[in-house]
Amino acid sequence: MAKVQIVNTSGAKVGDIDLDDAVFGVEVQEGLLWEVVKAQTAGKRAGTAATKTRSMVRGGGKKPYKQKGTGNARAGSNRSPVFVGGGKVFGPHPRDYAVSVPKKVKKLALREALSLRVQEKKLVILDKFEVEPKTKAVAAVLAKLGAVKALVVDVKDNDKLIRGARNLAKAKWLAPEGLNLYDILNHETLVLTAPTVALLTTALSPKGDKE
């Protein structure tokens, strides 16, 4: 097990914690991380881009000009794609970009991301995150920890932290239940509280994966 120090909001060491290697010490596969992030971001795409086909545009009820004698090519409708204002051929239509990823793969990706932050020494563990419910106060704590662009993960009943972190420009708060790969990788530092470490160790343990 890897041993990491626990600090307080002033950055002073108050103890040590043993991290489970099954969650915080696994081999990092960049390809897997890329695939899961790609799937996560694809699911956020609106997929609402659309163009009108010739059956959707207005007009076209009457043949635009007679069949012969005009010098023009034969045409039966001004809704044809060859006319200005006509329908579009092979244009985009609403679609769902979501990609399905197995739960076991998502959990493995989270374990690898946590392990990556441990390897990079970009994981900060606090005994508890007690702070005034003000943006300035939370920002000051993160500055002391050297974690300006940080993802802070703490229990969802810490109302003061949630209110204080709401307007941070570079940092973000998440509950353990909402921890995801994209946010971990999108922030330089990961800040966890000791109770959160216990929750994540239980939730992400490979022992809970179904064969």
**Placement of tokens 């939730």 in the chain:** 203
Q: Are residues 20 and 104 in the same domain?
A: yes
> Is the domain of 74 the same as that of 108?
no
Q: Which pLDDT belongs to residue 201? A: 95
Under 8 Å between Cβ of 22 and 206? yes
Spacing of C-alpha 63 from chain mean position: 52
Q: Are residues 66 and 142 in the same domain?
A: no
Can you name the residues that pair with 124 across neighbouring β-strands? 191
Model's pTM, two decimal places? 0.83
Q: Which two tokens stand for residue 181?
A: 């790969």
Residues 36 and 68 in one domain: no
Residue-number span of the structural domain to which 169 is assigned: 2-45+97-208
Query: According to the model, what pLDDT value does residue 160 have?
Result: 95
Q: Which pLDDT score, from 0 to 100, does residue 208 have?
A: 61
Q: Three-state SS for 196?
A: helix
**Domain end call among 64, 91, 118:** 91
DSSP codes joined into one string, 84-117: TT-PPSS------------HHHHHHHHHHHHHHH
Based on the domain organization, do 60 and 123 belong to the same domain? no
Query: Quick one: 119 and 163 in the same domain?
Result: yes
* 31 in the same domain as 132: yes
Q: 152 and 197: one domain?
A: yes
Query: How many Cβ atoms sit within 10 Å of the Cβ of residue 203?
Result: 14
pLDDT in tens, the chain (211 residues): 778 999 999 999 999 999 999 999 999 999 999 999 999 999 999 999 999 999 999 988 889 999 999 999 999 999 999 999 999 999 999 999 999 999 999 999 999 999 999 999 999 999 999 999 999 999 999 999 999 999 999 999 999 999 999 999 999 999 999 999 999 999 999 999 999 999 999 999 987 665 5
Which pLDDT does position 164 carry in this prediction?
95
Domain co-membership, 153 together with 188: yes
Which of 30, 60, 91 terminates a domain? The answer is: 91
pLDDT of residue 132: 94
Pair 80, 112 in one domain: no
Residues 85 and 125 in one domain: no
- The total domain count for the chain is 2
Nearest C-alpha neighbor of 164 from the set 128, 133, 131: 133
Residues 37 and 55 in one domain: no
- Can you say whether residue 38 is alpha, beta or left, with left for phi > 0 and alpha for psi between -120 and 50 degrees? alpha
Phi, psi dihedrals of residue 16, rounded to the nearest 5°: -130, 160
Assign residue 201 the CATH number of its domain: 3.40.1370.10
Ramachandran quadrant class, 152 (left: phi over 0; alpha: psi -120 to 50; beta: rest):
beta
